[in-house]
Structure 1
Amino acid sequence: MAIMSAGPEVTDTSDAISGSRKLDRSAWSWATYQAGRDPYIGLVNGFLFAPYFATTVVGDGVKGQAMIAHMGMISGLTVAFVAPVLGATVDTLGPRKPWLALVTIILLPLMMSLWFAAPGGTILPPWIVVCIFGAISVLLSCGEVLFSSMLTSAAAPRMRPMASGLALSLGNVTSIALLLFILLALMLPDKPMFGLSKEAYEPDRIVPVLVALNFAVCAIPLFLFSKDADHTGSKADGASVKAGVGALFSLIRNWKQNSDAMIYLLARTLAQDAGGVLLILCGVYAAGVMGWDGTQMLVYGLLGCVAGLIGGVLAGWLDETFGPKIAFQIEIAGSVIGLIGIIGASPARILFLPIADPQPVWNGPMFTTLPELVFVFFGFLGFVFQIAAWSSSRTLLTRLAPASQMGAFFGLAALAGNSTSWLGPMFVGIFTSIFHSQQAGFVPVTILFAAGFVLLFFVKGGGAIEKT
Structure 2
Amino acid sequence: MTPAGYRALVTNLSAPEPPAGAAATMPAEAPGPAGRRRRFGWPVYAWGLWDWGSAAFNAVITTFVFTVYLTSDAFGPGADATLGWVLAGAGFLIAVFAPVSGQRADRSGRRTLWLTVNTLLVVAASAGMFFVAPSPDYLWLGMLLLAVGNIFFEFASVNYNAMLNQIATPATVGRVSGLGWGLGYIGGIVLLLIVYFGLIDPEVGMFGITGEDGMDIRVAMLICAAWTLVFSLPVILTIRDPKGRRDRGERTGLLASYRLLFRSIADLWRTDRNTVHFLLASAVFRDGLAGVFTFGGVIAAGTFGFSAGQVIIFGVAANLVAGVATILFGALDDRIGPKRVIVLALACMVAAGTGVFVFHDAGRTAFWVLGLILCIFVGPAQSASRTFLARLIPAGREGQVFGLYATTGRAVSFLAPAAFSVFLGLGAAATGLTGNDVQYWGILGIVLVLALGLVLLLPVRPHSHRTDTPLDSRPAGL
User: Following TM superposition, by how much is the alpha carbon of 1:457 offset from its aligned partner in structure 2, in angstroms?
Assistant: 0.9
1:332 is aligned with what amino acid? L
Q: Is the 8 A contact 1:312 1:387 kept in 2?
A: yes
SS state at 1:238 partner? coil
CA deviation string 1:332-369 (max 9, x = no partner): 23444555566x5xxxxx8444x7xxxxxxxxxxxxxx
- In 1, distance between residues paired with 2:369 and 2:215? 30
Specify which of 399, 404, 419 is matched with residue 412 of structure 1.
Answer: 404
Shift of 1:449: 1.9
Q: Which residue of 2 aligns with 1:347?
A: none
Report 1:104-119 matches (<5 A).
104-116=119-131
1:208 aligns with 2:221: yes
Alignment-derived partner of residue 358 in structure 1? none
Within 5 Å, which residues of 2 pair with 1:254-269?
A: 254-269=268-283
1:6 lines up with 2:10 in the alignment: no
Match of 1:32 among 49, 52, 55: 49
The alpha carbon displacement at 1:375 in A equals: 3.7
Q: What value does the CA root-mean-square deviation take over the aligned residues?
A: 4.0
Corresponding residue number in structure 1 for 2:288: 274
Deviation at 1:76, TM superposition (A): 1.8
Q: Is the 8 A contact 1:116 1:123 kept in 2?
A: no
8 Å CA contact retained: 2:421, 2:442: yes
Matched, 1:169 2:182: yes
CA distance in 1, matches of 2:65, 2:229: 20
User: Is 1:398 aligned with 2:415?
Assistant: no
Q: Distance in 2 between matches of 1:156 and 1:254?
A: 23
Note if contact 1:93-1:240 (Cα within 8 Å) is conserved in structure 2.
no
Q: Which amino acid aligns with 1:449?
A: L
Deviations 1:296-340 (A, max 9, x none): 454333213312222312421432454210211222234445555
Partner of 2:160 in structure 1? Answer: 147
Q: Which of 69-78 and 100-109 deviates more?
A: 69-78
SS of aligned partner of 1:278: helix
Q: Does the CA contact (< 8 Å) of 1:271 and 1:453 recur in 2?
A: yes
Letter in 1 for 2:239: S
Residue 204 to residue 331, structure 1, CA distance change in 2 (3 Å) = farther
Alignment of 1:253 with 2:267, yes or no, is: yes
Relative to structure 1, is the Cα distance of residues 243 and 133 closer, same or farther in structure 2, using a 3 angstrom cutoff?
A: closer
Deviations 1:36-56 (A, max 9, x none): 112322222223443444455
Question: Secondary structure of the residue that 2:40 maps to in structure 1?
Answer: coil
TM-score, normalized by length of structure 2? 0.76
Whether the aligned pair in 2 keeps the contact of 1:32 and 1:221 (CA below 8 Å) is yes
Match of 2:452 in 1: 451
- Structure 1 counterpart of 2:51, one-letter code: Q
Mapping 1:10-409, distance limit 5 Å: 17=24, 19=26, 20=29, 22-54=39-71, 56-57=73-74, 67-116=82-131, 121-122=135-136, 124-125=138-139, 128-198=141-211, 202-230=215-243, 231-234=245-248, 237-239=251-253, 242=256, 245-246=259-260, 249-280=263-294, 282=296, 295-320=309-334, 322-337=336-351, 339=353, 344=357, 351-353=359-361, 370-371=363-364, 373-402=365-394, 405=397, 408-409=400-401
> Aligned partners of 2:133 and 2:370: how far apart in 1?
32
Instruction: Compare 451-460 and 420-429 and name the one that shifted more.
Output: 420-429
One-letter amino acid matched to 1:82: F
CA deviation vs aligned residue, 1:217-262 (integer Å, no higher than 9, x gap): 0110111001324434347843587257415523433424223222
1:103–1:143 Cα contact (<8 Å) kept: yes
